[in-house]
Amino acid sequence: MRHIQPPDRIFIWLVAGLTVFGLIVLMSASGPLGYQQSGDSLMYLKKQLVQGILPGIAIFAIASFIDYRKLRWLAVPALVATIVLLVLVYVPGIGLRLGGSSRWVSIGPISFQPSEFVKVTFLIYVAAWLASRHENDVKTLERGLIPFLAIMGVVMALLIKQPNTGSTMVIAGASLLTYFVAGAPWIWFVGLGGISASVVAILIKLTPYRAARFMTFMHPELDPNGIGYHINQAYLAIGSGGLFGLGYGLSRQKYLYLPEVAGDSIFAVMAEELGLIVVVLFLVAIAALVWRCFEIAKRAPDPFGTYLVSGIAGWIALQSFFNVASMIGLMPMTGVTLPFVSYGSSSVVAIAAACGIVASVSRQATQRL
């Protein structure tokens, strides 16, 4: 019987370090907003700890000690859970509509964002589905690409309807990466990229709010006090930080100038207070975590472990990139959170579950990392 080793230490230290760093950044960034809303500048930090970090630690521990291979037999239930979660947001009395979007589910005192958990459940299904296919099947249209796109299309349609473009891009990107790790021809990647670009162009044309975001991305100076206010305040925050930052706790934009300071825009506050050098170190840590995931994936004892960890690595990488890129003007604002840093219990718990799965795979690795 093969010896089961401890979880990969480098991976564990990177997850722990990023989590602690995220709490430190959140404590400063959310202070003025928390005080305005409740008279307690630590309100968001306390909620993050109680509703996100503590449950996340418990789920991480459970996921890391359970043999990840048992998840393979939950593929179909995971797919059903994915679809049910995304449908619940439209059920009267359960779905919660905020800011023109149906992204939340509220059951009694519990509220959560289903799309965050779908990132876990759908990747489990995709990894199990690919692992059940013969290597040659993955490379065919009728047994590989078409059924893969069909089931992914259902999930993407439910996300787009919310609308939740950011999560749609993250889940689609991570799923496609998993598919290509399984052996799909790279020429399909080029074709799917062209199709995706066409779909995005159609969505921009058909939906006014997406068109407005795209125009703001192209010309943020056109309406600095209207639709362009958010991105212009983010630019101001990031530009003010310089190399070394204004100092921890000394952000000006967090004083109710920059929208979503605890969520989507927390990167801008981080850059303003801590400066370019710390921001680069943070991004290096995220890159190191993603690299470690791929190293674990390469040494997984079966294809299911390889595909699942690769998908999780793609999820963390893409979501981090989309958040940062939207803040510095490389792409339109997507509304996705910054992993390990942004406020949001659903995001924290989902990331913790995913990292627990990666830790479980590392315990079963065929050789030490």
| pLDDT at position 1 | 44
Residue 95 in contact with residue 105, Cβ under 8 Å? yes
| pLDDT at position 207 | 66
Domain limits for position 199? 9-363
Is it the case that residue 225 has pLDDT exceeding 90? Answer: no
What is the pTM for the complete model shown? Answer: 0.90
Is it the case that residue 368 has pLDDT exceeding 70? Answer: no
Which of 89-93, 137-141, 219-223, 334-338 reaches the highest mean pLDDT? 334-338
How many C-beta neighbours within 10 Å does residue 133 have? 18
Query: How far is the C-alpha of 325 from the C-alpha of 333, rounded, in Å?
Result: 8
123 lies in some domain? yes
266 lies in some domain? yes
CA neighbor of 4 nearest in space, from 248, 262, 361, 302: 361
1 lies in some domain? no
| pLDDT at position 298 | 93
Q: Is 101 exposed, middle or buried (0-12, 13-18, 19+ CB in 10 A)?
A: middle
Is it the case that residue 40 has pLDDT exceeding 60? Answer: yes
186 lies in some domain? yes
Query: How far is the C-alpha of 295 from the C-alpha of 100, rounded, in Å?
Result: 41
Helix (H) or strand (E) holding 9: helix 9-29
| pLDDT at position 273 | 96
DSSP structure class, residue 6: P
Give the percent of the chain with pLDDT over 70: 89
Give me the DSSP letters along 225-293.
TTTTHHHHHHHHHHHHHTTT-S-TT--STTTTTSTTTTTTTHHHHHHHHHHHHHHHHHHHHHHHHHHHH
Summarised one tens digit per residue, pLDDT across range 142-167 is 887 888 888 888 888 888 887 777 88
Query: pLDDT confidence of 365, banded at 50, 70, 90?
Result: confident
Question: Does 46 or 114 have the greater pLDDT score?
Answer: 46
Query: pLDDT confidence of 367, banded at 50, 70, 90?
Result: low
Query: pLDDT confidence of 204, banded at 50, 70, 90?
Result: low
Query: How far is the C-alpha of 34 from the C-alpha of 56, rounded, in Å?
Result: 22
Question: Does 30 or 191 have the greater pLDDT score?
Answer: 30
Question: Does 75 or 53 have the greater pLDDT score?
Answer: 53
Summarised one tens digit per residue, pLDDT across range 259-299 is 889 989 999 999 999 999 999 999 999 999 999 999 999 99
46 lies in some domain? yes
Which long-range contacts does 207-214 make (Cβ < 8 Å, 24+ apart)?
207/163, 209/100, 209/163, 210/163, 210/165, 213/332, 213/333, 214/332
197 lies in some domain? yes
Is it the case that residue 317 has pLDDT exceeding 90? Answer: yes
Is it the case that residue 369 has pLDDT exceeding 80? Answer: no
Is it the case that residue 246 has pLDDT exceeding 80? Answer: yes
How many C-beta neighbours within 10 Å does residue 207 have? 14
CA neighbor of 304 nearest in space, from 182, 185, 174: 182
Give the mean pLDDT of the chain.
Answer: 87
| pLDDT at position 126 | 93
| pLDDT at position 157 | 86
- The count of domains in the chain is 1
- Residues shown for the chain: 369
Q: Is the peptide bond before 185 cis (omega within 30 degrees of 0)?
A: no
Query: pLDDT confidence of 17, banded at 50, 70, 90?
Result: very high
3 lies in some domain? no
369 lies in some domain? no
Cα–Cα distances in angstroms (integers) from residue 233 to residues 29, 178, 186, in the given order = 14, 36, 40
